Amino acid sequence: MTLAHPAPQTVLGLETSCDETAAAVVRRHADGRVEVLSSVVGSQIAEHAPYGGVVPEIAARAHVETIEQIARAALGEAGVGYGDLTGVAATAGPGLVGGVMVGLSFGKAVALARGLPLVAVNHLEGHAVSARLGAELIDYPFLLLLVSGGHCQLLSVEGVGACRRLGSTIDDAAGEAFDKIAKAMGLPYPGGPALERLAEGGDPQAFQLPRMLLGRKDCDFSFSGLKTAAARLAEGVTAETDRRDLAAAVQAAIAGQLAEKSARAMEGYAREHAGEPLRFVVAGGVAANKAVRARLEAAATAHGFAFAAPPLAYCTDNAAMIALAGAERLALGLADPLDAVARPRWPLDEAAAAASPTHKPGRKGAKA
């Protein structure tokens, strides 16, 4: 039994599930309007770059060292004190558990000290609501492509906490494919943005890459064959123009598969939501890629869907999306006990995850 609290919510959000220590203050008005009062992201890229990827121990330690000052900076930028908050929302998973525990423990301490409700937020739910942080409020329901370093899935989103998975990757996540191919091409970590920069002006037709799972009628993705083929090609490619072409071909292959599978999901979703406004949302780190956005927008338009993506700053990991997920839950009267646990794996649609035991989540367990 839950009680609705349509009163305004001013929520401190905390995000520590991977290599960003982030805090934000978001105000959700009673009519559903959203204001981001602050969003501070402390990146650990410099600490992890020498290792070519995220080192969990280094990440957890960096979160411990910076969480308090980042939370204080978020409150300062928002012009509010702990006394002005109506709740605290912290990522409780999925992700690197050492880091998750840092943010969740900090959130519990604030909630306990200030007598505030705590929301233990699923990081993926944060990505799912992130498009609602933009200037124009995207209403529920919508079809969501959640595409990041650890996840690649299509979800029918009816509201906060009400997601049904329509398809997901059977091997790697799209961001993982970007990162691993970028690494094979000698590009610096994080690979996705570096590969996008290299691809500028390249000819995507110059290389033939495998088109995975396109003959299948489902909405599942696969990137491992592309990853292997591209890594093999990368070994023999040294001239800068060829490297640009290969990067452009990889980017086009990933964007193409995302668009084709999303289009398939749109067809089924449109049948189920006949007569309703149709909305397609892309969220997660890979949604920052302009070629990916363009292909998805074209597919959405062709299928009669309105297209939406979060502002660029809210595609990659941030705490504003966690604060908003928390505020939306609090508005529904949903909060969590102070003994809420950190969950390294935590699928958004638990029923679908249980029904597909062969599914192997991407890098970092079930991290998004």
Is 125 a residue that touches ligand KG4 (CB under 6 A)?
A: no
What does 286 bind: Zn ion, ligand KG4, none (CB cut-off 5 to 8 Å by kind)?
Answer: ligand KG4
Q: What are phi and psi of 311, to 5 degrees?
A: -50, 150
What does 145 bind: Zn ion, ligand KG4, none (CB cut-off 5 to 8 Å by kind)?
Answer: none
Write the CA distances from 112 to 1, 67, 255, 353, integer angstroms.
23, 17, 45, 33
Query: Is the CB of residue 310 less than 8 Å from the CB of residue 131?
Result: yes
What does the alpha-carbon distance between residue 72 and residue 40 come to, in Å, rounded to a whole number? 10
Write the CA distances from 137 to 23, 28, 35, 304, 315, integer angstroms.
22, 11, 10, 19, 16
The piece of 61-69, 72-80, 135-143, 148-156 that touches ligand KG4 (CB under 6 A) is 148-156
Is 368 a residue that touches Zn ion (CB under 5 A)?
A: yes
Is 149 a residue that touches ligand KG4 (CB under 6 A)?
A: yes
Is 288 a residue that touches ligand KG4 (CB under 6 A)?
A: yes
* Half-sphere exposure at residue 261, Cβ-oriented, CA atoms within 13 angstroms: 32
Q: Cβ closer to Zn ion: 36 or 146? A: 146
Query: Is the CB of residue 321 less than 8 Å from the CB of residue 130?
Result: yes
Is 196 a residue that touches ligand KG4 (CB under 6 A)?
A: yes
- Residue 275 C-beta: closest distance to ligand KG4, Å: 33
The piece of 54-62, 142-150, 155-163, 350-358 that touches Zn ion (CB under 5 A) is 142-150
Q: Is 357 exposed, middle or buried (0-12, 13-18, 19+ CB in 10 A)?
A: exposed
Q: Is 7 exposed, middle or buried (0-12, 13-18, 19+ CB in 10 A)?
A: exposed
| Nearby residues of 344 by Cβ (< 8 Å), 6 or more positions away | 93, 94, 95, 96, 97, 100, 365, 366
- Residue 23 C-beta: closest distance to ligand KG4, Å: 16
Q: Cβ closer to Zn ion: 15 or 196? A: 15
Among 15, 196, 297, 317, binds Zn ion (CB under 5 A): 317
What does 103 bind: Zn ion, ligand KG4, none (CB cut-off 5 to 8 Å by kind)?
Answer: none
Amino acid letter, 303: H
What does 316 bind: ligand KG4, Zn ion, none (CB cut-off 5 to 8 Å by kind)?
Answer: ligand KG4
What does 288 bind: Zn ion, ligand KG4, none (CB cut-off 5 to 8 Å by kind)?
Answer: ligand KG4
The piece of 3-11, 106-114, 146-154, 204-212 that touches ligand KG4 (CB under 6 A) is 146-154
Is 148 a residue that touches Zn ion (CB under 5 A)?
A: yes
Neighbours of 355 (CB within 10 A): 10
- Residue 139 C-beta: closest distance to ligand KG4, Å: 23
| Nearby residues of 367 by Cβ (< 8 Å), 6 or more positions away | 17, 18, 94, 95, 96, 123, 148, 149, 150, 151
Which of the 8 DSSP states describes residue 222?
Answer: -
The piece of 100-108, 110-118, 136-144, 286-294 that touches ligand KG4 (CB under 6 A) is 286-294
Total residues binding ligand KG4 (CB under 6 A): 21
The piece of 73-81, 219-227, 258-266, 317-325 that touches Zn ion (CB under 5 A) is 317-325
The piece of 26-34, 111-119, 145-153, 356-364 that touches Zn ion (CB under 5 A) is 145-153
Q: Cβ closer to ligand KG4: 18 or 166? A: 18
Continuous segment of H or E residues that includes residue 2: none
- Residue 273 C-beta: closest distance to ligand KG4, Å: 27
Among 53, 56, 193, 268, binds ligand KG4 (CB under 6 A): 193
Is 317 a residue that touches ligand KG4 (CB under 6 A)?
A: yes
What does the alpha-carbon distance between residue 227 and residue 7 come to, in Å, rounded to a whole number? 49
Partners of residue 337 on adjacent β-strands: none
What does the alpha-carbon distance between residue 142 and residue 154 come to, in Å, rounded to a whole number? 11
Q: Match 């978020």 to its residue by tokens.
A: 74
Residues that bind ligand KG4 (CB under 6 A): 18, 148-150, 175, 178-179, 190-193, 196, 284-286, 288-289, 316-317, 367-368
Residues that bind Zn ion (CB under 5 A): 148, 317, 368
